[in-house]
Structure 1
Amino acid sequence: MSLPAIGIIGAINECVTLFRWAKSAISSLHSRWSGSQEQSLQDGVLLLESGLQRLRDTLPAMYDLINKAEWRSHEENVTKLLPNLKDAVYEAEDLLDEFTWYKMKVQVEGNASQSPFTDFYDTIIQGSFNKLSDVHSRLNLLSSHLENMGIRGVAQRFDKLVRPETTSMPNETKIFGRDKELKQVLGFLNIPTNSKRKRAISSINASTSASASNQVSNESRISAIPVLSIVGIGGVGKTTLAQHITNHQRVKSHFELIIWVCVSDDFDIKRLTKEVIQSCNGKEATSDNLDALQRALINHVDKKRLFIVLDDMWDDAMKENGQCWKRFCAPFRSVQEGSVMLVTTRCPTVDEGVRTMDPAILEGLKDELFWNFFKLCAFGSESSRNDPELESIGRKIIPKLKGSPLAAKTLGRMLSTDLQASHWNSILEHELWELSQQETDILPAIRLSFMYLPFHLKQCFSFCAVYPKLRLQI
């Protein structure tokens, strides 16, 4: 059971105590009313209690509906309805808080004193029943509309339209400030600096010596493929670094087979296995039988020195207590020693669950390196021969971006469309999330991190975002 649902049930239980007191107070003060008035009051209390019980049954389902609708929030119809449903749920929670407050007031001021009951009668019985009915009506109407759109059955992952597929081809011709990380990863891959020359020598020997050929083909296999992870927040450059590693000449010379698979938040073993097979032979695998697919994959990777990149892995990979991950990796036991799997992820649970060696941690770009990258994005050049006034404004924008390369690209593109100081100042003074952005820009890129938060933490996130100083720390 989710934390919000537990909190709601706890609040309802507190309200039950309140209604017991109300019924007792009505009976103890019966001399103030006629028999019909007393009965009317008791009926009002019963109706309120019944309404709150219905709310107990409804709200947990509304939390689930909101969670599922957020995965489709890029659709226009859902975008219009979702804020209204959230508003109705928050109103219901406020109403429950109000009942809880009166329960505490009764405990403090006395179980049967007139003052708290008068307040209870005026505010709750006379006013809150109408509020409760309105909330129920709104919840029913909005949830009905969303369910008619098929929200209940939606898979909790983003459409490919929202999460573009990555490839091994670098989008950026130059990589900034990652020399240390690049050297670290190449070291983890155990690639000799003169691997190209060794391979050439090996080829010569293979053509002149049958025994040498047999020695190469019989190199020891491994019990499990080593896994190296590149870890960092969204937009920090994990994919870009992986692309440059994949296309590094030493990597291409060292490994017989290089494969790139974009995983994203859909860790489907059959889909991924099919994509690996297609990378090997260029043909689409048609079978839907996992055993047949894995046997076909073994034939392609058997005795080969393999480098495989699994880009943008999420917690979905760790489902079934990690058994899905183990099933996916099973065919790679037949690869040659020296093979490596590289995983990029922003999820600590994925990093801890898959890596077999220390991870490469990617943080934001620092100081002048980040400034040079920002200038390239905003001016199209790292040159110092740019407008001094614009450079001054750019220097003030830089701290807002927290070293994020994707943020620099997003803001840089916006700035480059108009090289006027007034335009740059307007962006400097704007909140980043209020700026118009494309589907692959910085906020959509980190949105998936928000989507994987539990519902109660999403509410906490929204609450903190109201306060400017807290926003800077989120």
Structure 2
Amino acid sequence: MGLKLKTAREKLGVIAGEKSKFHLTQGVGEVTTLRNENRQTSSLVNESEVLGRVYEKEKLVSMLLCDASHHDDLSVYAICGMGGLGKTTLSQLVYNDENVAKAFDLRVWVYVSDDLNIKRLTQAILESIEGNSCNIQELDPLQQRLVEKLVRKRFLLALDNVWNECPDKWDVLKQPLWRGKRESTVVITTRAEKITLMTAGDILHRLRCLSNDDSWSLFKQKAFGRGINEGNVILEIIGREIVRRCGGVSLAIKAL
């Protein structure tokens, strides 16, 4: 028993050492995510580098421009799928569509992540609309200011990478959004279908994996730049096997 206790202490010592070595932090819950500024997204996208999302983009744009006219209240659309499929990219394509830009008086892009801090998000929305920093610290004047900006305006709000599943916070965030003009729309991207049910009801788009052809085209674009030598059969065989193992996940293809 003494030997077992000594072995256990040694293993715990190694774990404690790795905690310090890798700067891990203690947290409660299934996943503890450190906020990483480098992962923030913006609305900008290079459409020439996006493959395999034309049909889905057109479908979502059509929903935003046509279906919204049948809703008296705020419309919420959710793009849901596993990490790396391209939810953010699809949202960026829709956000920057020329017809969408013409249809809305205001367009706002906000990166959410796991921190569904109502004051921070409200400030971010205001800063996007006004083009400068917002120094208001209390929630009520923040929301009152946002109402002033949204009233009589048809707006499109994109909330990227939503993780938090707390319905109470979502309800508080939406309070000023109801004051916008009819046909205003919120588009969210998330990995969790539970969040889409909480925020969007039945208005849900499940993002599919890339087809084999689109996956191979994306791989060639990233790996070979100007193009692969078609005579190099062995290189193509290796490349296609790599693509097959990626399972149509665009982020995996780009990384490899």
TM-score range relative to shorter protein: 0.7 to 0.9
For residue 164 of structure 1, what is the aligned residue in structure 2?
A: 39
Q: 2:115 matched to 1:242?
A: no
Q: Distance in 2 between matches of 1:185 and 1:152?
A: 40
Aligned equivalent of 1:308, options 132, 157, 161: 157
C-alpha deviation, 1:142, in angstroms: 5.5
| Larger relative strand fraction | 2
In 2 relative to 1, CA 386–287 (structure 1 residues): closer, same or farther, beyond 3 Å?
farther
What is the 5 A alignment of 1:45-56? Answer: none
Q: CA RMSD in A?
A: 2.7
Tell me the amino acid that sits aligned with residue 151 of structure 1: T
Q: Distance in 2 between matches of 1:369 and 1:150?
A: 38
Tell me the amino acid that sits aligned with residue 116 of structure 2: F
Give the alignment's TM-score, normalised by structure 1. Answer: 0.48
What is the 5 A alignment of 1:199-278? Answer: 224-278=73-127
Give 3-state SS (helix, strand or coil) of 1:190's partner: helix
Tell me the amino acid that sits aligned with residue 159 of structure 1: R
For residue 371 of structure 1, what is the aligned residue in structure 2?
A: 216
Give 3-state SS (helix, strand or coil) of 1:189's partner: helix
In 2 relative to 1, CA 144–385 (structure 1 residues): closer, same or farther, beyond 3 Å?
closer
Give 3-state SS (helix, strand or coil) of 1:228's partner: strand
Tell me the amino acid that sits aligned with residue 181 of structure 1: E
Q: Which moved more, 1:334-343 or 1:179-188?
A: 179-188
In 2 relative to 1, CA 379–150 (structure 1 residues): closer, same or farther, beyond 3 Å?
closer
| Larger relative helix fraction | 1
Higher relative contact order (CA closer than 8 Å, sequence separation 6+): 2
Q: Runs in 1 of length 4+ with deviation above 6 angstroms?
A: none
Q: Distance in 2 between matches of 1:382 and 1:140?
A: 51
Q: Distance in 1 between matches of 2:235 and 2:14?
A: 52
What is the percent sequence identity of the aligned residues?
31
Q: Distance in 2 between matches of 1:143 and 1:406?
A: 33
C-alpha deviation, 1:180, in angstroms: 2.1
In 2 relative to 1, CA 408–272 (structure 1 residues): closer, same or farther, beyond 3 Å?
same
Q: Distance in 2 between matches of 1:346 and 1:133?
A: 43
For residue 8 of structure 2, what is the aligned residue in structure 1?
A: 135
C-alpha deviation, 1:399, in angstroms: 1.0
Q: Distance in 2 between matches of 1:386 and 1:244?
A: 35
C-alpha deviation, 1:388, in angstroms: 3.0
5+ residue gaps, structure 1: 1-127, 193-220, 412-474
What is the 5 A alignment of 1:138-149? Answer: 139=12, 143=16, 146=19
Give 3-state SS (helix, strand or coil) of 2:160's partner: strand
C-alpha deviation, 1:358, in angstroms: 2.7
C-alpha deviation, 1:352, in angstroms: 1.4
**Quick check: 1:229–1:359 contact (8 Å CA) kept in 2?**
yes
Residues 184-227 of structure 1, C-alpha deviations (whole Å, 9 max, x = no match): 211221349xxxxxxxxxxxxxxxxxxxxxxxxxxxx95x4211
Aligned equivalent of 2:61, options 182, 186, 207: 186
Give 3-state SS (helix, strand or coil) of 2:48's partner: coil
Tell me the amino acid that sits aligned with residue 248 of structure 1: D
5+ residue gaps, structure 2: none
**Alignment coverage as a number of residue pairs:** 249
C-alpha deviation, 1:129, in angstroms: 3.6
